[in-house]
Structure 1
């Protein structure tokens, strides 16, 4: 049996569905406040900066730098054992200081990963769900 099919799937909500729709279209889209113009991630019902409820999703470049990372050697979540060891990272996106997205790092040996490494979004197909954002070195 393919353990990848056993991986947990995201559970889109009315708040997060535009994010997942953009992923299905091959784009990374992040919430942005129409009033203060700050990006907000993870999705929120109100802007944490100005409390406006005028938030929409806008495409971003998907380019950024690794802020911190870890290499998972012993996965505790079903369906990930076939990937170990695998790196995951917080990436600060180029659009705004402090705007961070989380994802796996693809096409990079764990020993080659470094804080400050420039990366770009890529999409990994999660069977039974669709594409999810990850990152790869650029």
Structure 2
């Protein structure tokens, strides 16, 4: 029996280029970031050239999936109609163990319970047949 899920009515990420590759890993329930083969630095969002050493050599490396909340904001009035019923919500910037920061959402924590430095871990949420998004949960322990 297949699981019934409410249709996801929000904008979806592009399936093209390096962004498409990032979300293909997410669909496989793996959070991966690019790591420069020249200087060893991780980067996100995906791009062809390293901003630190200008190398064009890189690889996709699996993330631990763990990080901490770097900052957040509470959205009380949606700027896009698809998010109107979701307010209030809190977009967070998560600083990953690998050093990159990514924008997402903590799905098991109300905006007024968030704290800078709060440990979180990735949680993959399928929102369509083709797209799985990386959200976060409060880390245990």
**TM-score w.r.t. length of structure 2:** 0.87
Deviation at 1:38, TM superposition (A): 0.5
Secondary structure at 2:73 match in 1: strand
What number of residue pairs does the alignment pair up?
Answer: 135
Map 1:1-138 onto structure 2 (within 5 A): 5-96=8-99, 99-127=100-128, 129-138=130-139
Secondary structure of the equivalent of 1:114? coil
Residue segments in structure 1 that go unaligned for 5+ positions in a row? none
CA RMSD after TM alignment: 1.8
Q: How far, CA to CA, are the matches of 2:66 and 2:58 in structure 1?
A: 22
Q: Helix, strand or coil: the match of 1:134?
A: strand
5+ residue gaps, structure 2, are 1-5
TM-score (norm 1): 0.89
Which structure features the higher share of strand residues? 1
